[in-house]
Amino acid sequence: MNNHENATSETNEGSTFAEKLRKLRLTKIEPPFELNPTITQERFIQQEDHTKNINKLINTTNVKPSTLADRLKSLKSPKNVTPESATHINRNHLENGATSTKSLAERLAAKRKQENIFKLQKKDAKAIQNIDGKITNLRNSSNVMNAKELQWFKQLQKAIISSKPIMRKIPNHSLSKVASILVYKEHPNIPEKLNNESKKRKFEQIFTIHYPNTNIKKRALESFNKLSPDDIVLRAQQNAFASVTDKVQNLKISESTSNPTEQSKKKNVFEEEDEPRKDNAPFVHKYKQITVPTKPRKPVDLKEKIAEYIVNPHISFVVLGHVDAGKSTLMGRLLYDVGAVDSKLIRKLKKESNLLGKGSFHLAWVMDQTSEERERGVTVDICTSDFRTENAKFTIVDAPGHRDFINNAISGIVQSDVAVLCVDCSADAFESGFNLDGQTKEHSILARSLGIRHMVVAMNKLDCVDWDKTRFDEIKDQLSAFFELIGFDVTKQISWVPVSGLLGDGVVKPIWSSSTKQNWYKGPSLVGTLEKVAHEFVETDENLNFLTNSPFLFDILEVSASNKANECVVSGKIEQGSIQPGETITIYPSEQSCLVDQIFYQGSPMEHLTVALPGEFVSMKLLNSNSEDINSGDLCAIVGMDLHNSKSFETQLLTLDIARPLLPGTPFILYRGSCEQPAVIKRLIKVLDKRDPTKVLKNKVRHLGANQLAIVEIEFTASKKTVDLPMLTASENKQLSRIVLRKEGRTIGAGVITKLTD
């Protein structure tokens, strides 16, 4: 009976798991590590390599005697030994007890050999200690090992023992890493076979491989190309001095002080009064609003800028879809095929994903950066990437498909004009993404409600169904009916593209690979469709008007305080209009008027823009601002365009598949752009006909059920700061008047603000 069998029989006899494994470890793991012939052989190979290297060194030495004997002799001769190396050699020589007849090369080789063996022993000891620790943890946390677990553990042992041959190939390896790589590679389904969820997680935790960050080199290069922190400070100081005259002129500051402590004590120049904050006070200060616009410092020719923009428009699109629909793979393929990622990175990701037994995920890893995302195979946070084609510029926002991360998907949607809805067309997969709990429906509703203007449906994984046109049509019909129901104009606002993200068919080029049976789709590729949409956006009269004539409106996504008094940076999206440095804006709801000092793209604070256009994501450095009273979700408007802070408003609301009816007083979280605020149903006014919203079905409404269209009054409830927020109706701004209602982790309704009621 071998040791494994011993262990199995002991398990059945009922001794503790800890004891059994200790025996198993003592008999099976420890001795083979020291004695295993493969390991010894491996070490010899490595030592031989070292000896070869030393010989190579000898052969390439500058001294060129004719024979090997002469060459070795010359190496031994005192003229080739520096005082330093001589001391070193003498010390080694004495320590190693070498005889005086040994050559320098031999002594060096012996020393290296010894060092090498010592290093390997140390590494092995550490690795064994490591894996022993992990096994002890595993052992202590579950008392009895079942047959499947035991079998799995045996496989692990085997993997450890036979792991040496691949160790040489893995940098910074440790035995435990190699073991887990092998376990994953050879038995990728082992954790899945174990039914108990927590055990599964435990195993995954134990065998998680933390790779060194693969982007380190790239990041280091980027960091060195960027300005150093000192340079950034120096530049900022220079800029501050250079623009000080302008600032003084624009702001009409009556007296200035060079003393920084006095300056920081100084009140905001627009402030009316500075009272101590009361408990329920919405803002730290009351602000005096500026009503007369200020001129840009260096006015740019807006028409020229817009003409450039029309030729080369920039759109951001969010990638939506059910979990595992292939979103990250599709975007990874797209970035690779447009040349935004180099083949070296792809090769590297392929190798790494293969080692983890997740070979098919290598393209997805271009987008899924974090180790958590890679290990779970699920996108967690939103991830953005830029790419450009000959005709347009794009920002991709990859949103997570999993229900747990829906808030991230919402912030992805509000940052985008267009959505790419990735649909898995493989057998049964579309159906599971489209049912009650699937994300295809929920994402589409969110996209429609949060102002996505065009949706490109990427009919993905068609390679799995042999590019079957019937399957394509069947899914298209079901989705079209649903899109119509939630208010999309299917002919104008929806495009359909058959693709395979994994193979690349239809992603960048409209040419289909010869192996596929696809011959029925003659339209543009996914990228071609996106280019078309980007141009349609800017070329229509409505959009041109929107570009040129709308007053500036900005949705704040992020606020960063500055260490200077009365200064902060806000980042977000320009919803309409344009902005130039020197202009004054008002932030709502705090109603503070601030001067736009600098505009830049996030991540490039030193490259200042002369103007920013609608749809762009930019950061603005604001003077005379108080970051304590600015939050994400606040709106900025150009001075002169007054927004109204409201507490309640009427909305045309579509309820979704809700389990419980909505009643007056039902609480929920309201989303508008990047703003998130607790609210309640104040009043149910009337129920409308979904097919014809001008038709009233019911005037007295007690409650609202699933899938009903109604006019409802909503009221904000207390939050950290204020209950009055800047709200816009559909006639003021189409995007910012859209709202989404969520309760207990589910989207319960979506609508559009029709009237402010206070």
Ligand X SMILES: Nc1nc2c(ncn2[C@@H]2O[C@H](COP(=O)(O)OP(=O)(O)OP(=O)(O)O)[C@@H](O)[C@H]2O)c(=O)[nH]1
Pick from 497, 495, 531, 525: nearest CA to 510: 525
Q: Contacts with ligand X in 465-494 (CB under 6 A)?
A: none
For ligand X, which residue of 135, 138, 317, 400 counts as binding (CB under 6 A)? 400
- According to the binding rule CB under 6 A, does residue 500 interact with ligand X? yes
User: Distance (Å, rounded) from C-alpha 395 to C-alpha 420?
Assistant: 12
Closest approach of ligand X to the CB of residue 462, in Å: 7
Contact in structure between 159 and 331 (CB atoms under 8 Å): no
Residue at 152: amino acid letter: W
Structure tokens at 420: 């790419």
- According to the binding rule CB under 6 A, does residue 463 interact with ligand X? yes
Closest approach of ligand X to the CB of residue 361, in Å: 5
Choose between 498 and 528: whose C-beta lies nearer to ligand X.
498
Q: Contacts with ligand X in 297-316 (CB under 6 A)?
A: none
For ligand X, which residue of 29, 284, 378, 685 counts as binding (CB under 6 A)? 378
Residue at 700: amino acid letter: K
For ligand X, which residue of 104, 184, 326, 355 counts as binding (CB under 6 A)? 326
Strands 567-576 and 553-561 come out as antiparallel
Q: Contacts with ligand X in 16-75 (CB under 6 A)?
A: none
> Segment near ligand X (CB under 6 A), from 47-55, 291-299, 371-379, 467-475?
371-379
> Segment near ligand X (CB under 6 A), from 178-186, 251-259, 326-334, 518-526?
326-334
Closest approach of ligand X to the CB of residue 439, in Å: 8
What SS3 state is found at 682? Answer: strand
* The residue to which tokens 């007296």 are assigned: 255
> Segment near ligand X (CB under 6 A), from 297-305, 399-407, 468-476, 590-598?
399-407
Residue at 551: amino acid letter: P
Structure tokens at 532: 């078309």
What SS3 state is found at 309? Answer: helix
Choose between 417 and 463: whose C-beta lies nearer to ligand X.
463
C-alpha 351, offset from chain centre: 22
Closest approach of ligand X to the CB of residue 275, in Å: 49
Q: Contacts with ligand X in 348-367 (CB under 6 A)?
A: 360-361, 364
- According to the binding rule CB under 6 A, does residue 441 interact with ligand X? no
User: Distance (Å, rounded) from C-alpha 651 to C-alpha 391?
Assistant: 39
- According to the binding rule CB under 6 A, does residue 324 interact with ligand X? yes
Residue number of the CB closest to ligand X reads 401
Choose between 410 and 638: whose C-beta lies nearer to ligand X.
410
Sorted by sequence, the CB contacts under 8 Å of residue 498 that are 6+ apart come out as 459, 462, 467, 472, 506, 518, 521
- Distance spanning both ends of the chain, measured CA to CA: 85
Choose between 378 and 670: whose C-beta lies nearer to ligand X.
378
Closest approach of ligand X to the CB of residue 602, in Å: 24
Closest approach of ligand X to the CB of residue 461, in Å: 4
Host H or E run for residue 418 = strand 418-424
Structure tokens at 505: 């068919």
Sorted by sequence, the CB contacts under 8 Å of residue 423 that are 6+ apart come out as 321, 322, 325, 430, 433, 440, 457, 458, 459, 460, 475, 479
User: Distance (Å, rounded) from C-alpha 585 to C-alpha 593?
Assistant: 6
Q: Contacts with ligand X in 442-461 (CB under 6 A)?
A: 460-461
- According to the binding rule CB under 6 A, does residue 464 interact with ligand X? yes
392 DSSP 8-state letter: -
User: Distance (Å, rounded) from C-alpha 549 to C-alpha 542?
Assistant: 10
- According to the binding rule CB under 6 A, does residue 646 interact with ligand X? no
Choose between 110 and 340: whose C-beta lies nearer to ligand X.
340
User: Distance (Å, rounded) from C-alpha 19 to C-alpha 26?
Assistant: 10
Closest approach of ligand X to the CB of residue 201, in Å: 17
Q: Which residues in this chain contact ligand X in the complex, by CB under 6 A?
A: 321, 323-329, 360-361, 364, 377-379, 400-402, 460-461, 463-464, 500-502
